[in-house]
Amino acid sequence: MAYSSYLEVVPATIGEMMPSTTPASAPSRHRDWREGLPALTGSLISLRELRPSDAPSLLAALGTAEVTRLISPPPPTVEGFEKFIAWTQRQREAGKSVAFGVVLKGSDTVIGLFQVRALQPAFDIAEWGFALGSDFWGKGIFMDAAQLVIDFAFEALGVHRLEARAALKNGRGNGALQKLGAVQEAVLRGSFLRDGVYLDQGFWTIMSDTWRESQPTRSVVRIVH
């Protein structure tokens, strides 16, 4: 979703993650999140479940040419985002994926989103996507939110392996993944079609044990009920 345009860095974009045919269900010990996502708090932002009323804010933040330059186009209308938000809630209830809206501390306006989608029935292998409005790039917001999402994926969803793809032309997006400790396992040649051109993508992974070892002094998953 949005990356360096933070939307360029993900396994899939908003539109690509909507139609999923992967039968995924989380282990019983991780089912609480299916009933509703908790709020996660960082130093700069909070993450919460998307609401239908967030549609105009998402369109304003993610619908610009700068953000969508290297991603599949997100919904072009408020109504399209309303349908997307409703879809994310159905996916969460089915145990197939989660989607968090990003809001600044002291605000309730969504400026971006993060998604994690199961690739295996047990949710042990998953992919993630993210999108952030261009006005908020380079301010530390992405890293603050990404750490919370990764913590949640490993600790609450039971993910073992978290995958992402980033267009090689997306220098900022690839750099952000590398800074998080992701490992580039491969280059997927001609794997992403944008504006009639097939682009190469980097294929990145973060493993749960490696992540935990790299975060010894940082508390994980700060949840607000």
N-to-C CA span, the chain: 27
Q: What total number of domains does the chain contain?
A: 1
Token digits for 3? 């990356």
Residue 143, helix vs strand vs coil: helix
Token reading at 9: 């860095």
Give the separation between CA 216 and CA 203, rounded to whole angstroms: 26
The string of pLDDT tens digits covering residues 180-225 is 999 999 999 999 998 889 999 999 999 999 999 988 665 545 444 4
pLDDT digits (tens, 9 = 90+) for 42-99: 999 999 999 999 999 999 999 988 887 777 778 999 999 999 999 999 999 999 999 9
CA distances to 63, 78, 114, 131, 142 from 58, in Å:
8, 8, 12, 10, 16
CATH number for 111 = 3.40.630.30
User: Residue type for 123, please?
Assistant: F
pLDDT tens digit string along 19-45?
443 444 444 444 589 999 999 999 999
Give the CA radius of gyration of the chain. 16
The reported pLDDT for the residue numbered 171 is: 85
Task: Name the residue range of residue 19's domain.
Answer: 3-224
Beta strand pairing status for 125-132 and 39-41?
unpaired
Query: Which amino acid is located at 215 in the chain?
Result: Q
Torsion sign, CA atoms 63, 164, 137, 99: positive
Q: Which two tokens stand for residue 199?
A: 């682009």
